[in-house]
Amino acid sequence: MPKLPRILVYSLMIAGCLALIPPLVFARMRAVPSPNRPIHIFYDMDFQPKFKTQVGNPLFADGRAMRPPVAGTVARGESYVDVHMYEGVSGGQWAATLPAPMKLDAATLARGRQRFDIYCSACHGYAGFGDGAVNRRAMELVTNANGPVNGTQWVAAKSLHDETTRNQPMGQLFNTITHGIRNMAGYASQIPVEDRWAIAAYVKALQLSQDAAAAD
Ligand code: HEC
């Protein structure tokens, strides 16, 4: 084997020792806590001049970087000033009519009927006599010969043709659908406001049709 030149041997030895330095430096950096930021080679958009949530900003008198909405701001689609539309009240009383942009026509009643069949008929029955499938099944469980099955409790869905309910103005029905009543839950989160009115109008029509006197 030919002898390597001395200079090369020494150079390789020195290079070998130097090569140990970076891994040792890395190892130390990983092990020893430092008050300095880590070295950041690619900045991308990591450091931007901006205010994060909950920090102070001396520009504003109250020192808050997070600005509250300007007084009187109304979120889009969330103006509830129309009490007829949103509360069913007109002139301080339950409204007897649909709110302004809506019309009491065949389309509204058809929509109301469809929504009623979906949301209300399960308990109140398609004609509103309180004889929906859920109600019938619950009554079966409650009036079992050996006592209520699994301790079932049930408040019967009211007939919408009861004296008290029959005479309620449309606005009051709207209010019941919106907020619920006693044991019945409200439907504001499931049924949009105009559909609730359409249902109320349809219930009034149901009541008229079922409770008409021969003379009518
Ligand atoms: C899960 C069953 C159930 C559903 C679905 C349901 N209701 Fe009821 N509803 C009841 C019960 C139960 C009562 C009686 C509550 C009580 O007396 O505690 C009631 C009562 C009522 C009353 C009588 C209010 C009064 O002043 O006495 C009206 C009107 C009414 N519901 C309308 C509706 C309409 C309209 C819908 C559809 C949007 C609907 N309900 C959906 C169970 C239901």
N- to C-terminal Cα separation, the chain = 124
Give the number of other Cβ atoms within 10 Å of residue 15's Cβ: 9
pLDDT at 172 over 90: yes
User: Coil, strand or helix: which one is 81?
Assistant: coil
Q: How far does residue 214's CA lie from ligand 1's centre (Å)?
A: 28
Question: Max Cα separation, the chain?
Answer: 128
Asked whether 155 lines ligand 1 (CB < 6 A), one says: yes
Of 161 and 23, the one with more pLDDT: 23
Name residue 53's beta-bridge partners. Answer: none
Shortest-distance Cα residue to atom 25 of ligand 1: 165
Q: Is 195 exposed, middle or buried (0-12, 13-18, 19+ CB in 10 A)?
A: buried
Average pLDDT over the chain reads: 89
Share of the chain above pLDDT 70, in %: 98
Q: Ligand 1 test: best mutation among 111, 168, 176, 190, most atoms within 8 Å of CB?
A: 176
User: Domains of the chain (ranges plus CATH)?
Assistant: 83-210 (1.10.760.10)
As a whole number, mean pLDDT of residues 55-71 equals 92
As a whole number, mean pLDDT of residues 32-36 equals 88
pLDDT at 163 over 90: no
- The reported pLDDT for the residue numbered 176 is 94
pLDDT tens, residue by residue, 174-208: 999 999 999 899 999 999 999 999 999 999 988 88
- The reported pLDDT for the residue numbered 4 is 85
As a whole number, mean pLDDT of residues 49-68 equals 92
Contact by Cβ (8 Å): 130, 160: yes
> What gap in Å lies between CA 108 and CA 112, rounded to an integer?
6
Contact by Cβ (8 Å): 161, 128: yes
As a whole number, mean pLDDT of residues 148-156 equals 79
What is the pLDDT confidence band of residue 13, given thresholds at 50, 70 and 90?
very high
Q: Ligand 1 test: best mutation among 152, 153, 158, most atoms within 8 Å of CB?
A: 158
Asked whether 160 lines ligand 1 (CB < 6 A), one says: yes
pLDDT at 145 over 80: no
Asked whether 142 lines ligand 1 (CB < 6 A), one says: no
